[in-house]
Amino acid sequence: MTSPLYPTNCVERFLDYVRIDTQSSEESDSYPSTPGQLDLLRMLKAQCEDIGLKDVTMDEYGYVFATVPATSTKADVPVIGFLAHVDTSPEMSGKDVKAVFHRNYDGSDIVLPDDPEAVITAAGNPALAQQVGNDIITSSGTTLLGADNKAGVAEIMAAAEYLVNHPEIPHGDIRVGFTPDEEVGTGTQYFDVEKFGAHCAYTMDGETLGELQVETFSADAVTATFKGFNTHPGFARGKMINAIKVAAQFVASLPQDTLSPETTDGYEGFVHPYMMDASVESTAVKLLVRDFNTPGLKLKEALIEECALQAVDTFPGSSVEIAVEESYRNMKEILDNHPDVRDNAIEAIRRAGLEPAVEPIRGGTDGSRLSFMGLPTPNIFAGEHNFHSRFEWISTHDMHKAVDVIIELCKVWEERATRS
């Protein structure tokens, strides 16, 4: 493993940030969805001011923006940005997180101290094999850790502080941004691209060392609502039409051995029924539809409609309504028009002493939406693993290397600008 090029306090910052409960909520009507997120965002605003960043703002929605002032004498260095979200997943508690160090990791299973049955196995986490000799941070076993995405927050803050303290490093204006509610799908809802004012940005929210993601799923949400007829079950013969049974027939008719999350990987998309609101009168099935291109999405949505209509035909008198809502589209459609955004990141990863791993992400990021909002935004590794669970872990080595990549990326953009 390589030593950091730019020693920083990113680990110490991370430990401070995970102590704040920023779990977001899908049930909230407020924005941000939980008050803990505002606590951390206010802290970050104050810290940005303390380390000497300029143009520090926090708007009514909680977005914190700031600028690392340029040191380059060149006039045409593009403004680039770095982004991370402060919220943690609703799927696992983020309250009273106790970060635990596992020093000089030896390659064995990691037992979490507050629940001896909670074990991060070496066999189930092949990425741990690359971490022998490094320090690993986990939770104590009763909460998530919060590396997703407080690792990215800490790395951006540490890099910004380093750049302010080392004006001999030439770079253009660097924008940093911290956002709420990514985990509940609304992280970019009120993001002001014009105010952020960057040529491009990079989310620091990836997993494996050296990873760069310039492709995401394209995603839609589908709701199939089956209508039946309810009456007293004791007098229902020839009258009742049970919408639950129609919906069950529909779900059973979807492909079982293909096109599901548990049977696909790589560039394969899927259809995923994940929630049902059921009654005899009306049953709604919610499905996630994923593919790496829009035509593939439409084919899968046509399959859903076909299966739904076949289920209705099986139960005369029933009916179905299908609603499709666009979630996000593959950022590659935008990033292909901005090759410098990708190429400069690859060069920065190499300069940090790492092998670039350019792979698709089987999901979406805030960058997916931001790219289509006019801010091309690929995703760079932050080092987080097993996110959304109590088995979450991160390597301090990987955090330091993420900081190296941020600083090298600022230098690459400055070097490749032409005019003095």
Active site residues per annotation:
87, 182
User: Which of 372, 382, 247 lies closest to 321, judged by CA?
Assistant: 247
Q: Which SS3 state, helix, strand or coil, does residue 142 take? A: coil
- Kindly calculate the radius of gyration of the chain based on its CA atoms and give it in whole angstroms: 24
Q: How far is CA 411 from CA 6, 50, 160, 383, in A?
A: 13, 24, 13, 22
Helix 339-351 / helix 396-415 crossing angle, nearest 10 deg: 130
User: Which of 405, 4, 412 lies closest to 210, judged by CA?
Assistant: 405
The token pair at 141 is: 């076993």
**369-259-89-189 Cα dihedral, nearest 10 degrees:** 20
Q: Which SS3 state, helix, strand or coil, does residue 212 take? A: strand
| Distance of alpha carbon 64 from alpha carbon 84, whole angstroms | 10
> Does the CA dihedral 11-81-160-132 come out positive or negative?
positive
Pair type for strands 54-58 and 64-68: antiparallel
DSSP-derived letter for residue 387 is: T
The token pair at 227 is: 């209508």
| Distance of alpha carbon 187 from alpha carbon 255, whole angstroms | 33
Counts of helices then strands in the chain (DSSP H, E): 10, 18
